Amino acid sequence: MTQRWTARASWDEAIANLSRGGVLMVVLVGLTAGIVGVGLVADVHTADRVVQAERDYLAEGGDLLVARRQDASTIDVAACVAARRLTGVTASAAVTVTPGATGVVGRPEARQTVVAATDGVLDLLGLPVPGPDDVVVSTVVADRWQWSVGSRLQLLPDDVMPGLPRGVLTVSSVADLELLSEGASTGLLVAAPGTGGADACFVRIGAQYREDVHAALPAVLGESATGAITVADRLPAGALAADPAAAYDQRPTRWVGAAAGGVVGMVWVVVAWTRRGRAALYASIGVPWSGGVVLRWVEGLGVVVPGVLWGVALAVTYAVTALGSSVALVLDVAVRGGVLACAVAAAVVLVAGLWQPATLAALKDR
């Protein structure tokens, strides 16, 4: 006589046990969802903070290098514009900040700081290209003089900064110019010609190219034995060392999905231990070990998989609606974490399912 218990029979039994498991199964699925959901929300929250920190970091100029001549003479504007072609440089602009550069019609006694910059500054600031009669004003100046986009103004150039436009200008953008320097925060931004000299050369870089660009920039800008060029981070020392990509990849909660899966798996192991009498019962009826294994696998996965999916759904919903996290970020973190949680929990369930208690002892324990 041979065993004729089939895998289909194990499947049917497991599904029947799950569907008639009542409160226990609902509680287990809910507990799984809770464990996974809480873990993933924590990870989304952490990832969200990393992304926000990166935005702040970039907004403050964390990816900018500033080159100046040590002797305070000017940087060659054409060379600065050409630095855009360096590998790893995404934008470059020659910038000169002149405090008290001009008067403004209708603002007697007031002298206005002017920031003259080449076109690349628009990329640095994320601004649209202005027209020939347009001007960009800093937020500080816009507040002070009640200017906004569309406002019209006229400069009164003199000897301090010759060459400024004399006609009526239209405010095309209001922007925080502090990125360019503290003095620029109270300035008007006008276009500078692509030749001549400038106070400084700003370059925006990809984080991974920082060292290469840092090393190459002085030569590109025409450093000589008598005219040394210093390249510095726009932010205070060390601030550029922050690597957002690394911070994201190495966030402390990145393995929370796996940990949640492990906890879920251990919960199932405890449940399987308390239900060992059932395993013994099937064995005593004549269900072979392999049939019992399949039955326990289907039961375990029948709890773990829906629980994890529910947990991911809860985490995504909560993170998007309550935390206000971006959908793309939440999906990335939650799906990765969910897959990890499911894989670990399933692995524990599959290994635990191989164990079958001693039939007689387990039956007497019932």
Site for other proteins in 256-275 (CB under 8 A): none
364 binds other proteins per the rule CB under 8 A: yes
C-beta of 281: minimal distance to other proteins in Å?
5
Interatomic CA distance for residues 318 and 309, integer angstroms: 14
Q: Which of 7, 16, 105, 351 binds other proteins (CB under 8 A)?
A: 16
Interatomic CA distance for residues 334 and 340, integer angstroms: 10
Stretch that binds other proteins, among 176-184, 242-250, 253-261, 284-292 (CB under 8 A): 284-292
158 binds other proteins per the rule CB under 8 A: no
Do 261 and 340 touch, CB atoms closer than 8 A?
yes
360 binds other proteins per the rule CB under 8 A: yes
C-beta of 9: minimal distance to other proteins in Å?
4
C-beta of 342: minimal distance to other proteins in Å?
27
Stretch that binds other proteins, among 18-26, 80-88, 160-168, 189-197 (CB under 8 A): 18-26
Q: Which of 38, 277, 332, 343 binds other proteins (CB under 8 A)?
A: 277
Using DSSP's 3-state secondary structure scheme, residue 100 falls into strand
Count of residues that interact with other proteins, criterion CB under 8 A? 28
226 binds other proteins per the rule CB under 8 A: no
Stretch that binds other proteins, among 14-22, 104-112, 158-166, 315-323 (CB under 8 A): 14-22
Nearby residues of 120 by Cβ (< 8 Å), 6 or more positions away:
81, 84, 91, 92, 93, 94, 202
Interatomic CA distance for residues 254 and 249, integer angstroms: 7
In degrees and rounded to multiples of 5, residue 273 shows phi and psi of -65, -45
85 binds other proteins per the rule CB under 8 A: no
Strands 134-138 and 187-191: antiparallel
299 binds other proteins per the rule CB under 8 A: no
Site for other proteins in 21-40 (CB under 8 A): 21-22
Residue 101, burial from CB neighbour count under 10 angstroms (0-12, 13-18, 19+): buried
Length of the chain: 366
155 vs 287 by CB, closer to other proteins: 287
Interatomic CA distance for residues 189 and 127, integer angstroms: 11
Interatomic CA distance for residues 33 and 30, integer angstroms: 5
Number of neighbours of residue 340 by Cβ within 10 angstroms: 23
Q: Which structure tokens are listed for 129?
A: 């290209």
Interatomic CA distance for residues 271 and 110, integer angstroms: 79
C-beta of 280: minimal distance to other proteins in Å?
8
Stretch that binds other proteins, among 35-43, 142-150, 196-204, 280-288 (CB under 8 A): 280-288
72 binds other proteins per the rule CB under 8 A: no
Residues binding other proteins (CB under 8 A): 1-6, 9, 12-13, 16-17, 20-22, 277-278, 280-282, 284-287, 359-360, 363-364, 366
